[in-house]
Structure 1
């Protein structure tokens, strides 16, 4: 699954070039993990004529999807505590479970399961935020995908660290160890305004500038969070973060559900990015983010799944469709967030938010060959008048048949429907999941 020189021949190419382009009768030529050319199929250069050809004649080819907000290892708590609002969910269920179970093996195994789920659904890059980041990196490297690792920081003790300074020290040590790895990048991840002090935020702002790192945090996810900030600090969380130097062009704010028009304008002026997580926001009854207004204000909005404990799927196809439909209702305008915009949110917008837009997020010569093929000839996808529309409103993750990262085929769904990963067997993944399920269930009885 690793030939370095090959040509992909799809029915359609959706390059995500900002021009709403759909290419037919074209091919993508890949060498050593890099896209060399996108040309009509009858104009393949002589130097590539004899290269291996991959037939995707019933497929749309598009850039790998980018999950802009995830807590990957929480896959092991998928379905553990459903149907609660955010703060009861955290305080009464998730944080107690994490105190009991979170460890390097938990994070490694949960990240392995999450990464496999994401790869099988066409996600090639994810922006993570969790404890024991080295364990996540080890899982990511085994799967061969790309990850932006958020080095989580809080004030209170967990199984990972005892205080904010220790979180920062442990995180920067991991960053120093893996900073030269081409598939791994880093940001500081202060968890949220309600778990991080002013002093720590100021320290993070300084360190991020010194180390040329981004920042990844939760912001305005619930009304309760905003009221708590008003009661404690006299300002809304976004005002506090601005004053502390947290907002800027290298900052990704997850959720942004409850943002006022003036706050959207301010974030756009700052160049801050939003990771919209519609399914998690709906499941936790956190609210509906003003995405159409954010886009009109000039904000860069990407899509995230959040963790599987609050979603419960790491499925950007579901997020794209939900984001587009919710925006239309919230904005009272059927033209809000059309299909192409939803695809941008899942691809190039996420790349831009992570500072990786020159490397991934679109199909262009010189970029890394992070690519996915989506089959659109099954009965449920016919007829197909517009592949862009179908990718958002019809297709599901089960229609992803090929996932390449750096030109390496990391996942393939066979004609018989079998999931095949490049470097791990599905039975090993199944065994890992069932072992953890048995451990956690037995502790509850």
Structure 2
């Protein structure tokens, strides 16, 4: 007779009405539990089996909720939360050149970056997001802020052709960026990548240097590409080729490339992305608001391209709501392709979790609920009337659920949101800082 194994110790046992692990694809596990020790997932089991197999320091029971991997925002400019709504209803280049860049020139600095990220992290945690790919200046301040807040981030090392408050010359961008990489390369939550702004603001020599360093250091390259058709029209005049062809000539079209926006694509370019392992980061709401165009997600999906999801910055979206982004992405894909089966609910959730994690080079750590992975998790309450009756958890998440239904969030096993309340962030202090920046920026605009 076999003696039953003694129960294992774990720190936390989360029991949920439904667990959506993302892997296997589209699977919903009813009445299951996830066991966590430290920052890792130990097991995913039916609730009764989990109770027999583990002795937990804490048991959290959420029978009316669904537990998912934390959402992963694969493209954002989080300090720009402090410019939310500052210049709305304008086309991209007018918005950028006549409003955003002039304001940034007067306010950007360490305090602006830190306060904007703090506001963004509070918003993201309240919406079930546990990781982001950051694309902004002062990466040293970004990294320190994300680390202090216990939030997972892929911090970009910026490169752009003109001087900014962060760096004055091309060499300075690289020297300071590499110093940030060296300082944070062993951090458990903060990692780094290169963020050349866009092909129209970065020269060939800088791109070639990025390719060489990305190969040497095994870093992702996170870049706005083919954001509008106008971008490619200008590229043809200046370089004699479309932007993706130019980047391919420079050796950057590969499995390290996070190509953001990609609204203007030919079938041949889609095939190239699929062949080279490029990840495409879709930002549907920002693209719609700036009238930038439509990313052909259905064609990319059918070609086998890894799709990720991002909100873009709150200055152009105007929120960091990944639930809203999922719904918009799914509906837009159907409308653009004329195919109601395009970007189904399970594929959309995959894009917002494991697809984004893979694009960021973090797919082995986060993005799905699997033993051995880090415990980045979000619990969403489906009991409210707005999500009743509940027939299918994944469809409900994508098409009916709002971010206000997120109840609990963990990053690397550390609880950051408990019953809807931020655990270690002072909402009042964050609000006061945001209002202070509003007064300063409003004053700048009134002087213009």
1:410 aligned counterpart, secondary structure: strand
1:329 aligns with 2:335: yes
1:104 aligns with 2:105: no
Does the CA-based 8 Å contact 1:68-1:302 persist in structure 2?
Answer: yes
CA distance in 1, matches of 2:71, 2:195: 22
Structure 2 residue aligned with 1:300: 306
1:442 aligned counterpart, secondary structure: helix
Map 1:20-419 → 2, pairs under 5 A:
20-44=26-50, 46=52, 48-414=54-420
Deviations 1:28-83 (A, max 9, x none): 00111110011111112656235311011110000000001111111111101101
CA distance in 1, matches of 2:369, 2:170: 40
Does the CA-based 8 Å contact 1:4-1:407 persist in structure 2?
Answer: no
CA distance in 2, matches of 1:156, 1:239: 23
Structure 1 residue aligned with 2:443: 442
Q: CA deviation at 1:247?
A: 1.4
Does the CA-based 8 Å contact 1:116-1:143 persist in structure 2?
Answer: no
CA distance in 2, matches of 1:117, 1:149: 18
CA distance in 2, matches of 1:164, 1:318: 38
Does the CA-based 8 Å contact 1:143-1:422 persist in structure 2?
Answer: no
Structure 1 stretches of 5 or more lacking a match? 415-419
CA distance in 2, matches of 1:385, 1:423: 35
Structure 2 residue aligned with 1:5: 11
Structure 2 residue aligned with 1:431: 432
Instruction: State the TM-score, normalizing by the size of structure 1.
Output: 0.96
Q: CA deviation at 1:85?
A: 0.7
Structure 2 stretches of 5 or more lacking a match? 1-8
CA distance in 1, matches of 2:221, 2:173: 14
2:332 aligned counterpart, secondary structure: helix
Q: CA deviation at 1:254?
A: 0.5
Structure 2 residue aligned with 1:14: 20
Equivalences, count: 438
2:312 aligned counterpart, secondary structure: coil
CA distance in 1, matches of 2:109, 2:58: 44
What is the alpha-carbon root mean square deviation over aligned residues? 1.3
Does the CA-based 8 Å contact 1:143-1:410 persist in structure 2?
Answer: no
CA distance in 1, matches of 2:18, 2:399: 17
Deviations 1:167-226 (A, max 9, x none): 111111111111110101111111100000011101110111111111010100011111
Between stretches 397-406 and 161-170, larger displacement belongs to 161-170
CA distance in 2, matches of 1:110, 1:249: 31
Q: CA deviation at 1:251?
A: 1.1
Deviations 1:332-388 (A, max 9, x none): 010111100100000010111112111100001111000000000101111111111
Between stretches 350-359 and 191-200, larger displacement belongs to 350-359
2:315 aligned counterpart, secondary structure: helix
Between stretches 160-169 and 59-68, larger displacement belongs to 160-169
Instruction: State the TM-score, normalizing by the size of structure 2.
Output: 0.96
